[in-house]
Structure 1
Amino acid sequence: MRAGQHARHRARRAIARTGTDPWGPLTLPAFGALGRALSHRDARIFFSASLTAWTGLWMHRIAVMWLAWELTGSAFWVGMVAFCDLAPAVVFSPIAGAVADRMDRVRLTMIAQGVIGAQAGCIALLVATGNIGIEILLVFEVIGGIAASFAQPARQALMPGLVPRADLPAAVAANSLAFNVARFLGPAMAGPMIAFGGVVPALLCNMVAYAIASASLLTMRVDPAHRQGHKPEASLLAETVEGMRYAASHPGIGPILIFAGITAILLRGVQEVLPPYVDRLFGQGAPGLALLTASIGVGALVGGLWVASRGRLEGTTRLAVVGVTLQAGVAAAFVATGNFAFAVLCGALYGACATMHGISVQTLCQSAALTRMRGRTLALWGLITRACPALGALILGTAGELFGMRVPTVVAAALAFLVCIWAVTRMRAWAKELENPQ
């Protein structure tokens, strides 16, 4: 408590001395700050709601992937399901960021999460009545993807209103950890559920989870300065374009987002089309899919805890690059074996590397972006985390039908490694802009 007060006093003195934006550049706290971030009532409600919703989300993802595989037996259509869920971010994430920067973010989050819950309920009803087809499933996944594109920047932009400035980087890490705990819990619950009761119970769990998460937002007391975006300064389109120009012209944010986007296309598609790997390479069913997905979640959780424990912003750019480099090697090793136990181990390492990269990039963007641009900057990060894996899944699923799953995965990993070599040559210049923002 006293350490937190001292940190806030130092921050206030720095603000008074420099005249900088009080929610401007951030510093990464020590691991103990995770406890301080979670000591705030509204933060606990927020992260509990996040954990609940994301657990339902991962149950939903396992269910729809397996449903697509059962309906078609095609890696292409499994990739299309992932594509339809994630690709709407290409169009809607930049717009959603501008919307989140100009309206009540709690209300926007509740509306978007309500749509996601309704979408899950509709799919469950169609499956239960025998009226589902792959085309209908794709339509509903597009609807859910659009809603998620609006929920992401609105939720992320609320965090500065839940914790003191000194605890914000820890809150970012805690948010990522909640996602990765859910990535373990969701598949662990969905696998046996699907094996014994089909996909309908898992889909209904997602509907209930999002209803609970939305209702919990009503109990939060968010700082009005961070709950309500700024008054419109121009048209929605103009503000959307302004946000994209800001990120593109920033000497640190632009390059790190481009690097993250390219490598996400090449590597992140693997976890979006797991059923063909599980079935064709390892001869496993739905429980095997759940185990592999859960192993990725466990690895991501461990990797996230390690990043949070570093206690400094310095070196975060290097970590973002090294994480992807290691992930490329793990992805190649994953398909080089027919041993499922080794594949599960690779899944855990894959998750750890992906989370090291993801938390690092998000923290750097939170730190370097101007306050008035933070929602739009985070929306672009959301676009990368959703649209790029979608494109990668579509490419990988299509190539998998033609060449099998091993060769396309190895080629993608090799290309990602080449991109990482380029990033290493630019890493110091990026770090200068991202880790020491003016």
Structure 2
Amino acid sequence: MTLPSSLRALRYYNFRLYFFGQAVSLIGTWMQRIAISWLVYDVTHSAFYLGLISFAGQIPMLLLSPYAGAYVDRHSRYRTLLATQIASMIQAGALAALVFFGFYHVLTILLLSLMLGVINAFDTPARQSLMIVLVQNKKDLPNAIALNSSMVTMARLAGPAAAGILLSTFGEDVCFGLNFVSFIAVIASLLLMKLNIPERKKHTEPIWKNLQEGFAYLKGHRGLRTAIALMAFTSFIAMPYSNLYPVFAQTVYKGNVTTFSWMNSIGGLGALLGAVYMTRQKENANFLRLIVLSSSLFCLSMMLFAYTQNLVLALFFIFLGESGMLAQIAATNTYVQTRVDERMRGRVLSYYVMAFQGMQPLGSLLVGWAAHQSSAPLTVFWEGLLGIAAALAFIPSLRSVRKKEDRERLEKSRG
């Protein structure tokens, strides 16, 4: 069977295993994420605690990502990913058991979120670095990344919808338990893979030397540095706005858990649109321009959402904003993956992970505090305004990088 061009990466056996195994597991992950947010807000009625839980789950990305990237470059990416998935399964099982038996407190959830954050700090660079060996032809890497983003957003669409039904029917413990079971799929898919990965050379130099080399490489590559810097600012300022969905659902739209799950699901549908758009991009697409345009769409939609009193209109702006957000994430990831030197892949991708996921906890804490001090709509409006300002400020630098890359490509074709 001939696959359409937009699905071409699925013809690779290992990528297919990865794709479908992750799809099942990520639905469970989203169910757990939604259930935690609802449980914490239902118990505390505090936007600050929502931000604090998110902070605990993501701060390890900021603190540990460079070390984790160097670790991945020194050890087997495959074994690292398998170990982190098993550890994540244990964390999910512990959370499910504690909530089922009623032995939980906000502090307990905070500590388990912190534990998962540490696991993810190693999991994400290992996962991103493994992507290159799941497809045999490097030209199909952008498509693999976009399909991976599509799979993540499909899970984001299905997970919150399922969580909304399960939360109102059974409770949070069922969501946590199903997440535990979902890890069987991804662990099985990893064990079934047929990978031909050369053994890593034994490193004798200290790991801090590898950290230093990775930072120097990133500093010397203006394109990578600029794209990752904009990702960091957007992640810090704009992306944490979704932590305030429970506040909007209950206080602005006078809704309940169903309203909350609709907001997340519509956001997932918008992100899916952005991911589908990215599957059509070729290896030589202008990803830098896509980064700026998608970031601007995301932040403008946030500003419009902030003071919309009509729920249907608010869902429309969430849809637009999330499509822009996903396109920025996928475009940045693809740009980094297709330009980085193989020996630096883990370290540079760790800086991307730190920018994308590591900056969000600081932003979550700030956004939770700001919403507590003022209001959720005012906070989201300012997040969008600052995000647009950042995207516009980066245009001259990104344009300069693109011109340089075009010149280098032309010289290479002539040579």
TM over 0.5: yes
Q: TM-score normalized by structure 1?
A: 0.89
Distance 2:22 2:383 in 1: 32
Q: SS in structure 1 opposite 2:205?
A: coil
When residues 273 and 84 of structure 1 are mapped into structure 2, their CA distance, relative to the original with a 3 A threshold, is farther
Give the conservation status (yes or no) of the 8 Å contact 2:69–2:349. Answer: yes
Match for residue 350 of structure 2 among 372, 375, 379: 379
Superposed CA offset, 1:33-56 (max 9, x none)? 443210111110011111122111
Q: Contact 2:292–2:392 (CA<8 Å) still a contact in 1?
A: no
1:182-230 Cα distance to aligned partner (Å, 9 max, x none): 11111111111011111111111111112321122110011213xx444
Are 1:246 and 2:182 an aligned pair?
no
Q: Report what 1:41 is aligned to.
A: 13
> 2:301: which partner in 1?
330
Is residue 2:141 matched to residue 1:189?
no
Say yes or no: does 1:102 pair with 2:74: yes
Q: How does 1:36-435 map to 2 (within 5 A)?
A: 36-164=8-136, 165-225=138-198, 228-232=199-203, 234-432=205-403
Contact 1:323–1:354 (CA under 8 A) maintained in structure 2: yes
Provide the rounded CA distance (Å) in 1 between the counterparts of 2:183 and 2:355. 23
Kindly, what percent of the aligned residue pairs are identical?
27
Cα gap change, 1:166 to 1:417, in 2 (>3 Å) = closer
1:256–1:430 Cα contact (<8 Å) kept? no
User: What is the aligned-residue RMSD (CA, Å)?
Assistant: 1.8
Q: 1 CA distance for matches of 2:336 and 2:330?
A: 10
CA distance in 1, matches of 2:200, 2:241: 36
Deviation sequence 1:9-66 (CA, Å, 0-9, x none): xxxxxxxxxxxxxxxxxxxxxx944432101111100111111221111111101111
Question: Are the equivalent residues in 1 in contact too, given 2:226–2:398 (CA < 8 A)?
Answer: no
2:337 and 2:217 map into 1 onto residues whose CA distance is 14
- Take 2:284 and 2:4, find their aligned partners in 1: how far apart are those partners? 15
8 Å CA contact 2:244–2:376 kept in 1: the answer is no
AA of the residue aligned to 2:294? G
The answer to whether the 8 A contact 1:109-1:214 is kept is no
CA change 1:365–1:233 in 2 (3 A) is farther
Structure 1 residues 434 and 53, CA gap change in structure 2 (3 angstroms): farther
Shift of residue 139, structure 1, vs aligned partner: 0.5
Deviation of 1:294 after TM superposition, in Å, equals 0.9
Task: State whether residues 253 and 434 of structure 1, in contact with CA within 8 Å, keep that contact through their aligned partners in structure 2.
Answer: no
- Answer whether contact 2:84 2:122 (CA < 8 A) is retained: yes
Q: Residues 100 and 153 of structure 1 are in contact (CA less than 8 Å); yes or no, is this contact kept in structure 2?
A: yes
Equivalent position SS for 1:234: coil
Query: Mind listing any 5+ residue stretches in structure 1 that lack a counterpart?
Result: 3-30
Structure 1 runs of 4+ with >4 Å offset: 433-438
Shift of 1:245: 2.5
In structure 2, relative to structure 1, the CA distance for the partners of 1:251 and 1:267 (3 Å cut) is same
Residues 254-276 of structure 1: CA deviation (Å, up to 9, x unaligned): 11111110121111001233211
Closer, same or farther: CA 145–243 of 1 in aligned 2, 3 Å: same
| Runs of 5+ consecutive residues of structure 2 not aligned to the other structure | none
How far apart are the structure 2 equivalents of 1:420 and 1:248?
20
- TM-aligned CA distance change 1:240 to 1:157, over 3 Å: same
Distance 1:381 1:150 in 2: 13
Q: State the distance in 2 between where 1:85 and 1:361 align.
A: 23
Post-superposition CA distance 1:344-380 (Å, at most 9, x none):
1111111100011011101110111101111111111
Tell me the CA shift for residue 343 of structure 1.
Answer: 1.4
Q: CA shift at 1:312, angstroms?
A: 4.8
Contact 2:139 2:283 in 1 (8 A): no
**Contact 1:120/1:204 (8 A) holds in 2:** yes
Contact kept? 2:35, 2:172, Cα under 8 Å: yes
CA contact (8 A) 1:104 1:229 kept: yes
TM-score calculated relative to the size of structure 2 = 0.94
**Residue 251 of structure 1 contacts residue 433 of structure 1 at CA under 8 Å; is this kept in 2?**
no
Distance 1:298 1:403, change over 3 A: same
Cα distance in 2, alignment partners of residues 191 and 370 from structure 1: 43
State the 1:409 CA deviation.
1.4
